[in-house]
């Protein structure tokens, strides 16, 4: 990266300049704030490293001007112990980070690595969004992983058709966002997108929401009400959580999908509807069909084109992008640093709640960070009593060879207890007597009783 180093202490700039250059950075050194402004005016820099107390222009003023002149620049403040409050204020003004003097140069090198990583992520995200500029409906989608690229390709292929789509995805994977993308990329984009969550509406009210009613259909039916299916006429009807739909309602929905007509509750006239159906489920509907909890004929009616959304644990490469997005969303313009062990822990986490869980984790960590502006693992990955197995995976495992040897010994002990002699034992295990003796000797089981 191109680095502008502004500090009037030559003992710092000489050694830091050399270390930065040795690590592949292009470095320009100035000893005055006004000189730094002149260099920033003349050329582009990726990073500005500046002391606060300098002749010509203070570092905090340089930060404000540099950010205005070069919006994409990352500014790192270096300061003495007596001006920590100034450094904190600089962070609030948009500095990427600050380092207290005295420091070792490795701190700066590690910080620049993190800044370069974030800039690369931002570039990837910009490129991804640029690729999708002609595809309305993907504005809220973040994902550069191959798993998500496959979803994008499928949506682009399927959207222009009139086929029913069944979106399969765990809770929190963004099923409604992709239903909206399918609608916006279809020939029905000018029409309405009407959604209903079968899990959010009591079963006693679901049919009224779906089909509507005529005046006088029941005690409180003082006027006619159009159901959501009828309101979706000419557009797309999105059935979220269809796995929660009662069987009796499934029967009536099936008739609507087969005949493309709606009969309001209490009515006698059928109303034609022109809709495309997109449904979503958080569980495998085939299991519900086998259990008799979902109609097989309805399953085949809605599952013309299946679209599977990968859970977050299958798209680990997207986690840094998503964290960055949520930090911008909840950070109110402030920059937040991630402790080195945090990102690795996030990518090991199981994420049963998927993107929604990650979003809440970032929001919680920002709320708990206070003035420190550092996101910590203990704030983002609290133990979940509902999902005790979702704690981060261990950072070390025993070698595979050790695990296999332990399993082999346990199997031999079991076989020894079941066989009458070593000939039978060798035959049962499918190995020669010599190989058997070698294994018994290796596992110290030569005296095993037969």
Whether residue 96 has pLDDT greater than 60: yes
Burial 378-407 (b: 16+ CB within 10 A, else e): ebbbeeeeeeeebeeeeeeeeeeeeeeeee
Where are any strands of DSSP class E within 241-369?
Answer: 261-263, 270-272, 276-281, 305-308, 337-338
pTM: 0.58
> Is the model's pLDDT at 266 over the cut of 90?
no
What is the arithmetic mean of pLDDT over 372-381?
83
> At 126, is the pLDDT very low, low, confident or very high (cuts 50, 70, 90)?
low
- The CATH code of domain 313-390 reads 1.10.8.60
Q: What is the mean pLDDT of residues 78-85?
A: 67
Which pLDDT value is given to residue 448? 59
Query: Under CATH, to which class is 2-125 assigned?
Result: alpha beta
For the cut 70, the answer to whether the pLDDT of residue 271 exceeds it is yes
d(CA 46, CA 74): 6
Q: Is the pLDDT of residue 133 over 50?
A: no
Backbone φ and ψ of 30, nearest 5°: -130, 155
Is there a shared CATH topology between the 2-125 domain and the 313-390 domain?
A: no
Fold held by 151-308: Rossmann fold (3.40.50)
* CB neighbour list of residue 191: distance below 8 Å, 6 or more residues apart: 232, 233, 234, 235, 236
Closest of 81, 86, 69, 74 to residue 49, by C-alpha: 74
Cβ burial of 417 (10 Å; 0-12, 13-18, 19+) is exposed
- Looking at residue 78, what is its pLDDT? 87
Residue 389 has pLDDT above 60, yes or no: no
Average pLDDT across the chain, whole number: 85
Three state DSSP letters for 59-102: HHHHHHHHHHHCCCCEEEEEECHHHHHHHHHHHHCCCCEEEECC
User: 82: pLDDT confidence band, cut at 50, 70 and 90?
Assistant: low
Q: What single-letter DSSP state applies at residue 195?
A: E
Q: What is the mean pLDDT of residues 120-128?
A: 68
Better pLDDT: 266 or 285: 285
Q: Where in the chain are the domains?
A: 2-125, 151-308, 313-390, 400-442
pLDDT > 70? residue 298: yes
3 state SS of 223: coil
């Amino acid at each position: 990266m191109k680095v502008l180093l502004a500090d009037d202490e030559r003992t710092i700039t000489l050694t830091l300049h050399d270390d930065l250059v040795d690590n592949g950075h292009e470095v320009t050194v100035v000893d005055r704030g006004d000189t730094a402004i002149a260099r920033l005016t003349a050329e582009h820099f990726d990073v500005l490293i500046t002391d606060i107390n300098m002749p010509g222009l203070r570092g905090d003023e340089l930060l404000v001007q540099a950010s205005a002149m070069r919006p994409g620049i990352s500014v790192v403040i270096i300061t003495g112990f007596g001006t920590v409050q100034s450094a904190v204020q600089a962070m609030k003004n948009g500095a990427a980070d600050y380092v207290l003097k005295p420091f070792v140069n490795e701190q700066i090198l590690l910080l620049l690595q993190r800044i370069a990583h974030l800039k690369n992520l931002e570039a990837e995200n910009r490129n991804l969004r640029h690729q999708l500029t002609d595809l309305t409906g993907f504005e809220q989608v973040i994902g550069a992983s191959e798993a998500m690229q496959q979803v994008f390709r499928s949506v682009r292929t399927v959207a222009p058709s009139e086929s029913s789509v069944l979106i399969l995805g765990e809770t929190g994977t963004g099923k409604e966002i992709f239903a909206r993308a399918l609608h916006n990329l279809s020939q029905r984009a000018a029409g309405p997108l009407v959604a209903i969550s079968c899990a959010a509406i009591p079963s006693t009210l679901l049919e009224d929401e779906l089909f509507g009613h005529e005046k006088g259909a029941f005690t409180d039916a003082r006027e006619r009400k159009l159901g959501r299916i009828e309101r979706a006429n000419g557009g797309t009807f999105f059935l979220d959580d269809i796995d929660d739909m009662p069987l009796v309602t499934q029967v009536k929905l099936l008739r609507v999908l087969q005949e493309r007509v709606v009969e309001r509750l209490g009515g006698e006239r059928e109303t034609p509807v022109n809709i495309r159906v997109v449904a979503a489920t958080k569980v495998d509907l085939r299991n519900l069909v086998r259990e008799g909890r979902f109609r097989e004929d309805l399953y085949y009616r809605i599952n013309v084109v299946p679209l599977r959304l990968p859970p977050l644990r299958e798209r680990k490469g997207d986690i840094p992008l998503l964290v960055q997005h949520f930090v911008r969303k909840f950070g109110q313009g402030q920059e937040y640093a991630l402790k080195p062990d945090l990102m690795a822990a996030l990518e090991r986490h199981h994420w049963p709640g998927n993107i929604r869980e990650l979003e809440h984790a970032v929001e919680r960590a920002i709320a708990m960070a206070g003035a420190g502006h550092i996101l910590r693992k203990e704030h983002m990955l609290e133990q979940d009593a509902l999902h005790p197995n979702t704690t981060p995976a261990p950072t070390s495992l025993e070698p595979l060879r050790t695990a296999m040897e332990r399993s082999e010994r346990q199997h031999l002990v079991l076989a020894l207890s079941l066989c009458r002699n070593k000939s039978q034992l060798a035959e049962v295990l499918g190995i020669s007597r010599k190989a058997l003796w070698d294994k018994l000797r290796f596992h110290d089981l030569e005296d095993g009783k037969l």
